Amino acid sequence: MATILLGAQWGDEGKGKVVDHLSAKADLVVRFQGGNNAGHSLWVGGKKTVLHLIPSGILHSRTRCLIGEGVVLDPQVLFHEISGLKQAGVFQDERERILVSERAHLILPVLKEVDLIRENSSRGTSGHIGTTGRGIGPAYEAKARRVGIRVIDLYSDDATLLGKLDRLHDAFAHHFDPDTLNEIRVRTWALIPGFRRSLEPLMVDSTALLKHAHDSGQEVLFEGAQGVMLDLDHGTYPYVTSSFTTAPSAGIGAAFPKILRSSRVIGVAKVYLTRVGSGDFPTEMRGDHDPDEVRIGEAIRKAGGEFGATTGRPRRIGWQDLVALRHAVEVGGIDEIALMKGDVLCGLDEMGGVFKVATAYEGADGTRSDRFPARAEILSKLKPVYENFPIWKHAHPDDPAFATLIARIEDFIGVPVRFVGFGPDREQILER
Ligand code: IMP
């Protein structure tokens, strides 16, 4: 049986906690897209561990974790996370727990440099994406330009690999002066022996692995990164990540799609909304429609610890948006929702006892729509049409106010809220 877990918003929905909960039963957890732009903060034995690449399922001792071919892999980040997990006593031998697809593409130094150069040079313009600066976009670009380096390519003979590295560096040469590019080439070549040594024992034919998991009836959990609203096709393009974050992508980024034929797709959504990086969203608390919103947003950011786990950037805060969530359910292929962090709003005086939920948008000409628009540049100009809900005492389905909110969400988006997260601890999640 396979389960696919996706972020149903703009990332940072609290997926790590749901993965941790579900992977207690999983034999294999698979990352199928993205790279170390993701970030999950986990507490292990009283010590905080932030994972960007290795699936959060690693904390359950019987679970193995696969980094699939749809992922772009920064080997330095992988080795750093492995050593942190070893120090925390999570495992002794990574070969028993971590597997890497031989077809996954590598994030090499030139790709990280290009990401940062582009971000810095576009600052203040509409072309600024606000990426995590980890080389994710350039790595997918290199893959699509057919100059990427895959894990398996490390094991070509030196001359062949050098030729491939030259093609990669040449493709991005226009960003650098010749001396800088040469320095990057030399620095990259110096990393190769370590990459070869450390990745070889982890490298697998992931199709064979997943076929075996399927044939032997294993529980497999596919862990999505980012969120559906950041999907390259279906998100708020161009303010999106460079991979595909919807359920069908799990069949592409992890190479045995048959395993997904009877899968269950869970979308993780926060009760309120957050977003980092550029790109508008209609229900952002910017104070355009209500001056108090800025203060409310700041209170939620503080109470919810809404700062990026990868970059530390303050997350932008917004009211719940069911138009966006229904879009995510439809394009993401989501069957059920895990609703997270409702507890953050309990007892927050700044809320004034009211929680707003958008169910339509109004354009400048007064026309209303309940469909999510394809043009990202109009999002900040739309006026959300809100329904008001009383704030709950407990973010629990037994609380009548929270139950009313859940019922409205289910009615609007057409799929059930199956999980509710009601606090930060591992146990504070229930399945309805
Ligand atoms: P990139 O994925 O680093 O190229 O960044 C592209 C956009 O996706 C930026 O707006 C990032 O802030 C956003 N993004 C990427 N990964 C995450 C994530 O894990 N959570 C939230 N936003 C993300």
Rounded CA gap, 411 and 397, in Å?
15
Instruction: Report the C-alpha gap between 259 and 266 in whole angstroms.
Output: 16
Atom of ligand 1 nearest to the CA of 136: 4
Task: Pick the residue whose CA is nearest to atom 22 on ligand 1.
Answer: 11
Residue 63 DSSP one-character state? -
What residues line ligand 1, using a CB cutoff of 6 Å?
10-12, 37-39, 129-132, 134, 136-137, 225-226, 230, 239, 241-242, 276-277
Is 0.85 surpassed by the pTM of this model?
yes
**CA 371 to chain centroid:** 24
Q: Which domains does the chain have, with CATH numbers?
A: 2-100+204-266 (3.40.440.10), 105-199 (1.10.300.10), 269-431 (3.90.170.10)
Could you give the CA distance from residue 111 to residue 181 in angstroms, rounded to a whole number? 12
pLDDT at 98: 98
For tokens 């999510």, what's the residue?
A: 372
239 CA distance to ligand 1 middle (Å): 9
Residue 99 pLDDT > 90: yes
Mean pLDDT value of segment 114-119:
96
Number of DSSP helices (H) and strands (E) in the chain, helices first? 11, 20
DSSP letters along 170-209, please? Answer: HHTGGGS-HHHHHHHHHHHHHHHHHHHHHHGGGEE-HHHH
Catalytic positions are 12, 40
Ligand 1 mutation target, pool 71, 276, 311, 316, most atoms within 8 A of CB: 276
- Residue located via tokens 């959060």: 56
pLDDT in tens, 367-419: 999 999 999 989 989 999 999 999 999 999 999 999 999 999 999 999 999 99
56 vs 154, more confident: 154
CA of 342 to the centre of ligand 1 (A): 23
pLDDT tens profile 163-206: 999 999 999 999 999 999 999 999 999 999 999 999 999 999 99
Tell me the pLDDT band of 45, cut-offs 50, 70 and 90. Answer: low
Letter string b/e over residues 84-113, b meaning 16 or more CB atoms within 10 A of that residue's CB: bbeebebbeebeebbbbbbbbbbbbbbbbb
What's the pLDDT at 160?
98
Between 16 and 147, name the one with better pLDDT: 147
User: In this structure, what token pair is assigned to residue 40?
Assistant: 């999950």
Closest atom of ligand 1 to 12 CA is 20
Q: 37 C-alpha vs ligand 1 centroid, how far in Å?
A: 6
Q: What is the pairing mode between strands 273-275 and 316-318? A: antiparallel
